[in-house]
Amino acid sequence: MIEDARVLRDDFIPAEVVHRDPEIQHISRVLSPLTEGQPAETLIVTGPSGAGKTCLTQFAVDRLKQEVLDLHIHYINCWQNYSRFRVLYRILEGLGKTVDIHRQSTPHDELIERLQTYSDSHSVVILDEADQLQDTAILYDLHQLPHISMILIANREAELLARVDERLSSRLVGSERLEFSRYSDDELVAILRKRAEAGLVSGAIRTQELETIAEASAGDARAAISILRNAARTAQFEQAERITSSIVSDSIPDARQEIHQKNLDRLTPDQRVVYEIIEEAGEITPSQLYQQYSTEVDDPKTDRTVRNYLSKMTRYNLIAAEGTSHDRRYKLA
């Protein structure tokens, strides 16, 4: 059933992309000064998850690298590398200049100085999930360096900019923007078909099943590919001849569950209590929520801390908040 599992992975960059030509053009145009040794404008890429932001950005940058010698590309996912230190470290690592940097005893200034010293060639730094950065000072640091061009990827621009300070946000206002929209079902079918052709035996899945997957994914290509991957695994395991519609419908909840569980695992015990109260209640007001939380745990955290939890869980897409003031309600996403 599965001939090439790499094609079904989340981080696979296809050799050619279907649709999204204007987006590729846009990225290439912004980066084009690099082909003449000039720095490129900062590019801010936004859009919902699974809209192809990461994939297409990497695709465009890969293509650029083939044209430009002496160009360093640093892809950094801010989920894992959320601190100023780690981002700087990753970039220096990419340049091979991490010798004698000690995990935490080297001051930031020195790291930046070192980046400045090794400015013999241009670098493109892609900060994926930039809204997850805990300390946005790093954006300022990198913006200052003339030989570094930044691409920031985030779900929503407003959320990203809200967290940077005045000095930087006024500079970022002038930078290039690119907004991705969700894929349509037809586009998702085309993407899935490409992956299936490249990764599975021929005739493994019919258009009808691809359409079911597309509909279930709500425009999210990552979710769609994850469903296809699970379905292919199941079919392989069951030694089925092809991926049937019943295998597909079994895989849909699995794929959703997988993402959901990953997020739940990240919660601390206190956060989990909060989550379970919301789950139990279905819908709850902030004050009721906090009241119940304080009765359920021995040593309750303050309401401010619980509000931190709530905003974190909202970012993780575990819960949703409705209303702004008196009509505020929390429920599961």
Contact footprint for DNA (CB under 7 A):
82-85, 102-105, 107-108, 134-135, 162-163, 165, 268, 270, 285-287, 301-302, 304-305, 307-308, 310-311, 321, 324-328, 330
Smaller CB distance to DNA: residue 101 or 259? 101
Rounded Cα distance between 65 and 73, Å, is 8
- Contact (Cβ atoms closer than 8 angstroms) between residue 136 and residue 163: yes
Rounded Cα distance between 208 and 185, Å, is 12
Smaller CB distance to DNA: residue 239 or 325? 325
DSSP type of residue 126: E
Smaller CB distance to DNA: residue 14 or 286? 286
Shortest CB 46 distance to DNA, Å: 17
Shortest CB 99 distance to DNA, Å: 11
Shortest CB 182 distance to DNA, Å: 24
Shortest CB 113 distance to DNA, Å: 14
Angle at 25 between CA 228 and CA 74, to 5 degrees: 70
Smaller CB distance to DNA: residue 66 or 295? 295
- Contact (Cβ atoms closer than 8 angstroms) between residue 147 and residue 124: no
- Phi, psi angles (nearest 5°) of residue 240: -75, 155
Helix (H) or strand (E) segment spanning residue 138: helix 137-144
Shortest CB 41 distance to DNA, Å: 26
Rounded Cα distance between 307 and 184, Å, is 35
Smaller CB distance to DNA: residue 87 or 224? 87
